Amino acid sequence: MASAAEKIEHGASELAVMQSAATRQAQQSVKVAGLRESAARFASIEAKLRYDEAELKEWQARVDQESARVGKQMPAEPTYTCPACSAKLRHDHSSGALVGFTPPPIVYPTSEPGNLAEYIRSRDLYARSVENDKRDLAAADLAARTLAEIDDARSDPAPAPEDVEAKKAKLAEARKEQTRLASTVKTLEADERAAAIADEKTDLARTHHNDVVQWQAIADSLAPSGIPGDMLAEALGPINERLARSSNESQWLRIGIDADMSIVADGGRPYELLSESERWRADAMIAEAVSFLSGVRLLVFDRIDVLDLPGREDLLYWLDGLAAEGEIDTALLFGTLKALPAVSGTIEAVWIENGTAGRVREAA
């Protein structure tokens, strides 16, 4: 896999170099063709320059002769026309630069100017042609010198197209081989992961089996016929005794708890068949038994309004007896009543209205 990657990297690098060289050679070929075309015109431009200079000299002489004939000497220097703004220019001998020039008006002795204007136009035409020839000649000379520099600095020839294609084919084959190897590696890794997962599942199944065996042993120990039966027999005895005492003191129905933790009332009636008031009294006595045996000495009873008036009096009488015997410290009773029940001096009644504890409402 690593060898295939190295081959691909090396082949891609070589291909990039070959393609870059081919591109550079193609661009240089286009540039060289233009330079050769420009350099090949050197002789023809030089010949044209000599011809235009001779014509300029001849037309300048004609201008001078015609100017003398009409009595007005024109400036000896040739004038030029700016290619950008068409302004008239001529050489300034003091600075050697082209400056703006406005030729003085020609005064003709007669109404016919003769051939002077035509001569001036021809002279100016050849003057511009000479300037253009010099510019073209300089460009051709630069092209020739650039060609010479390119020939001197020319590097190795660009690779042939068939060599580039062969390199591409070789690189494609290396990439295909890399893909095949990657697929093989992926398959092997998947098989390895599957084997590892299978081993993990086997270990997990063995662990679960051991847990089941251990939990089964614990379940056997905790079955009703095991440890819980003994513990319940010891715990339910004091609770049922306390429930019997509470039933006698409160004059309520007798409640008991069987070994299967089911609650039954007098006559074997299950808890589910008791009335709402009977279930409330059963819950209250069971709560008192748990409070007594745990030593909490606190009882909290909600919805005492489920009891009728005799039932509430029995509740208060029972709790007053527990407090008198020191078996409870505090008992909190909550209910919605129309008026306060009759209470003894050990009981404090608080009337809560609209969420605020206020003055105790007197019974009507």
pLDDT tens-digit profile, the chain (364 residues): 556 667 677 667 766 766 665 565 666 566 667 677 777 788 888 888 899 899 999 999 998 888 887 754 445 567 777 777 767 777 666 666 777 767 665 554 443 455 888 889 999 999 999 999 899 888 888 888 887 777 665 555 666 677 767 777 777 877 777 788 788 878 888 888 889 998 888 888 888 888 888 877 776 665 555 555 555 567 788 888 888 888 888 889 898 888 888 899 887 889 999 889 999 999 998 998 888 888 888 889 999 889 888 888 888 889 888 888 888 888 888 888 776 666 666 677 777 777 777 655 544 3
> What are the Cα distances from residue 86, in Å, to 79, 100, 128?
12, 11, 12
Q: Work out the number of other CB atoms within 10 angstroms of the CB of residue 106.
A: 14
Task: Quote the CA–CA distance of 67 and 170 in Å, as a whole number.
Answer: 83
Burial of 48 (0-12, 13-18, 19+ CB in 10 A): middle
Question: Would 257 be classed as within a structural domain?
Answer: yes
What's the CA gap between 61 and 64, in Å, rounded? 5
Last residue of a domain, one of 159, 174, 191: 159
Is 353 inside a domain boundary? yes
pLDDT score at 74: 47
Q: How far is residue 281's CA from residue 247's CA, in Å, rounded to a whole number?
A: 9
Question: What pTM did the predictor assign?
Answer: 0.38
- Confirm whether 198 is domain-assigned: no
CATH number at residue 351: 3.40.50.300
Residue 42: closest CA among 131, 149, 153, 135 = 135
Q: Could you list the residue range(s) of the whole structural domain that residue 149 is in?
A: 41-159
The rounded distance, in Å, linking the Cα atoms of 86 and 180 is 75
Q: How far apart are CA 143 and CA 32, in angstroms?
A: 9
Domain boundary among 159, 180, 205: 159
**What's residue 59's pLDDT?**
93
pLDDT of amino acid 235: 74
Kindly state whether residues 232 and 353 are assigned to the same domain: yes
Are 237 and 133 in a shared domain? no
pLDDT value for 280:
93
Shared domain for 135 and 251, answered yes or no, is no
C-alpha torsion 307→309→314→315, nearest 10: 50
Q: Is the domain of 339 the same as that of 251?
A: yes
CA dihedral 362, 344, 248, 228 (to 10 degrees): 90
Q: How much is the pLDDT for 276?
A: 92
Interatomic CA distance for residues 280 and 12, integer angstroms: 89
Query: Looking at 98, 125, 159, which one is the last position of a domain?
Result: 159
